[in-house]
Amino acid sequence: MDRIPILKLGHSLLVTIQVDMHDRLAMALEEDLTQKIVSSGAKGVLIDISALEIVDSFIGRTLANIAGVSRMLDADTVVVGMRPAVAITLVELGLSLPGVRTALNAERGMALISRRVAEADRDGAADAPDVHGDE
Amino acid sequence: MTWPLIALAIEREEDVVIARQRARRLAQLLGHDTQDQSRIATAVSEIARNAVVYAGGGRVEFSIETVDGVQSLCIRVADRGPGIADLDAVLEGRHQSASGMGIGILGTRRLMDSFQIESSRQGGTVVRFSKRLPRGRTIRREDLGAIAATLTAEGTPDTLAETREQNRELLASLSELRTRQDDLARLNLELEDTNRGVVALYAELDQRAEELRRASELKSRFLSDMSHEFRTPLNSILALSRLLLDRTDGELAPEQERQVGYILRSAQNLTDLVNDLLDIAKVEAGKVELQPRAFTVAELFGALRGVLKPLQTSDAVELVFHDIGHTAPLFTDEGKVSQILRNLVSNALKFTEAGSVQVTAHHDAATRRYTFAVRDTGIGITPEDQERIFSEFVQVENRLQAKVKGTGLGLSLSRRLAELLGGELTVQSEPGQGSTFSLTIPDRLPGTGPVPVDPAPRRGNGPRILVVDDEDASRYVLRQFASTYPGAEVIEAVDGTEGLRRAREDRPDLVLLDLRLPGLDGFEVLRRLGEDEATRPIPVLICTSSVLEAPDYRRLDRATGILPKASLSRDQVLSALAAALRAGENAP
């Protein structure tokens, strides 16, 4: 089966969805991302959906799931490049994507993640004496 | 008014993707803006997914509906599933979905202009929803063709389905292949097992054969050793008995003489038995060496006659050797042939009370085999016993058995010897009618090559003269004339082929050659004699009744002389012989 490629970029994972995903593909992406976050210790996940013309409730729910799971694994998810029509449709559909942070494009998304990583480092440095082996 | 556009079957998740993409493209073609395209596609995706997930598949149909002059893109999704159990709850938003956050149907209703849903346990679920075409946009019936064509050209749901079908078939054949492969593997395994069994069996058989061979070898060696051991004391007994009988140590009382005579006879019997045993052991051990040489049936019978005469104890039985006249000589082990025939004749004499024992020989020129037959008029042998008598130590019960001595080894040994000579020993018999034992052997011992090494031994010190003539009368006359030559030995051949062979094998000092011969004629024989290194020096006298012409003389250049048969006289032959023989001696 096809897989959506996941790229590691510094502290982040970069996912660019370029095909219209069927449900299983979307679920596979969720699993792959979860594992990759654990194995790479990424602090952020950037999902670029600029190529998607349709985001229905299932894909929306998958994105929300990804965001929820990665937050559990200490990584922020940012969905970037959502088309206006898709955004409107999602709202009309009644899907608000709770817990999913969004950015207009990939650049802003990366900035968002970098800032968050920097904050975490600062906090981590301050707490360092109390914390063992969290890397 | 409804104009159908396209219809799709949805069975799998991938079909949902295709359906929403077709919906989006169709909306685009119908003039919907991007936002509406997204709405329509999303709505189709939601409802189609429900059909796949909850009903296991269904059908999506797109059409243009015109109601009161307003045109809409109408989508109908039908499935044959179990229906929606709590439709009202779903529509009121109380339902919690496992897949789409429970907003699929409600969301779709919001996205579209109209939305109807019917659900029943029997008929499945049918969802119809529509979106008005953009303002100012009218689709005419003629446009439908173009739209359908565009969709068909772009989308290939059918091709996809076809590919899927092919894939399914491929998978099916693959699994079938795997099954076959498994079957084959299993069969192979079974065969390997069988094979292992066979191999083990073979090994066992080999072992058995080896054991048998060793046992047989041991027996032969035992026989051979024991026989040798027996012979030494036996010879002493024989010698001492003879000494006593010869009165070397003084006179014997008549009773003593008789007793010593019995001792001597018993010892002789025992010696015979031991000798036979030794022979059998030798044959079995393959230690018998054959000494082939050339001899004739007449010579063989002559020698046998002398040896066997003493065995003929009763006048009531006549022992006859039938002379078969001149035949091709044998080249084999004369001693062994003689031993077999001695055995057969002595047996025949033992079991014949009255009548005759006849020994004949016959040469089959075609198969080049001699058959010697010993026919008696004795008590005969029952069919059951006919094979048994060839086994070792077997003696058939009959009223004469008690009277005659024997070891039960003679026929067994004879048969083995016959096989050794490349032949066979068989019996034909009927109780009361007598028996015929037949020894059939090749006239030339197999494996001795075409030309024997030794020529037949010379009888006298005179010349050996070969007469080659097919007519008995001519041969007789020539033999009569030639044998008056001092010391001459005359041998004969009845045709050209035999003449050549005898010339090569028996090395005559002179050849008397007839010209008219069956097969090879005299001219040809003369030519071939000249070609062979061995026969070239032999002088040849042509002896013919033909009238010779000039060309004939040229062909007879090589001949030493020519004797016309018409005017044959003893003196003439003798002087010609003398001249030719002298010429032969002087030849290089």
The per-residue pLDDT for range B154-178, each reduced to its tens digit, is 765 555 666 667 777 778 888 888 8
**Residue A130: band (very low, low, confident or very high) from pLDDT cuts 50, 70, 90:** very low
- Judging contacts by C-beta atoms under 8 Å, the chain A residues touching residue B42 are 54-56, 89, 93
The pLDDT of residue B96? 61
**Residue A38: band (very low, low, confident or very high) from pLDDT cuts 50, 70, 90:** very high
The pLDDT of residue B94? 63
How many Cα neighbours within 13 Å face the side chain of B156? 5
The pLDDT of residue B88? 73
**Residue B564: band (very low, low, confident or very high) from pLDDT cuts 50, 70, 90:** confident
| pLDDT(B143) > 90 | no
Give the whole-angstrom CA distance, residue B585 versus residue B588.
Answer: 8
Pairing of strands A76-80, B124-132: unpaired
- Could you tell me if A94 lies within 8 Å of chain B, comparing CB atoms? yes
Instruction: Give percent above pLDDT 90 in chain A.
Output: 35
Q: What is the pTM of this model?
A: 0.41
| Residue of B519 and B435 predicted with greater confidence | B435
Pairing of strands A101-103, A76-80: parallel
Give the whole-angstrom CA distance, residue B251 versus residue B241.
Answer: 13
CA dihedral B566, B571, B574, B580 (to 10 degrees): -70
Domain B464-586, CATH class in plain words: alpha beta
Give the whole-angstrom CA distance, residue B587 versus residue A2.
Answer: 108
The pLDDT of residue B571? 81
Contact at CB, B16 and A23, closer than 8 angstroms: yes
The pLDDT of residue B210? 92
Contact at CB, A57 and B103, closer than 8 angstroms: yes
Q: What would the pLDDT profile of B278-313 be if each residue is shown by its tens digit?
A: 777 777 777 777 788 888 888 888 888 877 777 777
- Could you tell me if A54 lies within 8 Å of chain B, comparing CB atoms? yes
| Average pLDDT rounded to a whole number, residues A9-23 | 87
- Cα distances from B388 to residues B303, B382, B409, in angstroms, run 30, 10, 12
**Residue B509: band (very low, low, confident or very high) from pLDDT cuts 50, 70, 90:** confident
| Average pLDDT rounded to a whole number, residues B409-437 | 87
Give the whole-angstrom CA distance, residue B181 versus residue A33.
Answer: 39
B533: helix, strand or coil: coil
- Judging contacts by C-beta atoms under 8 Å, the chain A residues touching residue B41 are 53-54
Q: For residue B82, report the phi and psi dihedrals to the nearest 5 degrees.
A: -80, 5
Give the H or E element holding residue B305.
helix B297-308
- Judging contacts by C-beta atoms under 8 Å, the chain B residues touching residue A23 are 13, 16, 49, 99
Angle at B197 between CA B195 and CA B199, to 5 degrees: 70
| Least confident interval from B189-193, B337-341, B581-585 | B581-585
The pLDDT of residue B440? 92
Residues forming beta bridges with residue B295, ordered by sequence position: B330
| Least confident interval from A67-81, B15-29, B320-334 | B320-334
- Token pair, residue B176, equals 């079938």
- Cα distances from B551 to residues A13, B26, B230, B523, B540, in angstroms, run 120, 117, 74, 12, 19
Least CB-CB distance to A93: which of B17, B24, B110?
B110
| pLDDT(B207) > 50 | yes
Residue of A55, A63, A65, A89 best to disrupt the B interface, most CBs of B under 10 A:
A89
**Residue A134: band (very low, low, confident or very high) from pLDDT cuts 50, 70, 90:** very low
- Could you tell me if A7 lies within 8 Å of chain B, comparing CB atoms? no
Average pLDDT, chain B: 82
The pLDDT of residue B562? 83
Which are the contacts of A62, defined by CB distance < 8 A and separation ≥ 6? A26, A27, A29, A30
**Residue B406: band (very low, low, confident or very high) from pLDDT cuts 50, 70, 90:** low
How many Cα neighbours within 13 Å face the side chain of B95? 19
Q: What would the pLDDT profile of B430-477 be if each residue is shown by its tens digit?
A: 888 888 999 999 888 877 655 444 455 555 567 888 899 888 888 888
| Average pLDDT rounded to a whole number, residues B221-240 | 81
The pLDDT of residue B74? 92
Q: Contact B539/B588 with Cβ under 8 angstroms? A: no
| pLDDT(B224) > 80 | no
| Average pLDDT rounded to a whole number, residues A71-100 | 89
The pLDDT of residue B462? 78
The pLDDT of residue B456? 52
What letter would DSSP give residue A50?
T
Q: What would the pLDDT profile of B344-401 be if each residue is shown by its tens digit?
A: 888 888 888 888 889 998 888 788 888 999 998 888 888 888 888 887 777 776 666 6
Give the whole-angstrom CA distance, residue B510 versus residue B73.
Answer: 130
What letter would DSSP give residue B567?
G
* Residue ranges per structural domain of chain B: 2-157, 293-442, 464-586
CATH topology of domain B2-157: Heat Shock Protein 90 (3.30.565)
Domain B293-442 has CATH 3.40.190.10: no
- Judging contacts by C-beta atoms under 8 Å, the chain A residues touching residue B13 are 22-24
Contact at CB, B107 and A86, closer than 8 angstroms: no
Instruction: Give percent above pLDDT 70 in chain B.
Output: 90
Enumerate chain B positions whose Cβ falls within 8 A of a Cβ in A: 13-14, 16-17, 20-21, 24, 34-35, 37-39, 41-42, 45-46, 49, 99-101, 103-104, 106-108, 110-111
| Least confident interval from A10-14, B224-228, B290-294 | B224-228
| Least confident interval from A34-48, A113-127, B107-121, B298-312 | A113-127
Mean pLDDT is highest, among A48-62, B218-232, B389-403, B472-486, for A48-62
- Could you tell me if A105 lies within 8 Å of chain B, comparing CB atoms? no
Mean pLDDT is highest, among A75-89, B259-273, B318-332, B333-347, for A75-89
**Residue B576: band (very low, low, confident or very high) from pLDDT cuts 50, 70, 90:** confident
**Residue A30: band (very low, low, confident or very high) from pLDDT cuts 50, 70, 90:** very high
Domains and CATH numbers, chain A: 6-126 (3.30.750.24)
Say yes or no: do domains B2-157 and B464-586 share a fold.
no
Give the whole-angstrom CA distance, residue B473 versus residue B440.
Answer: 31
Give the H or E element holding residue B22.
helix B13-29
The pLDDT of residue B162? 63
The pLDDT of residue B289? 76
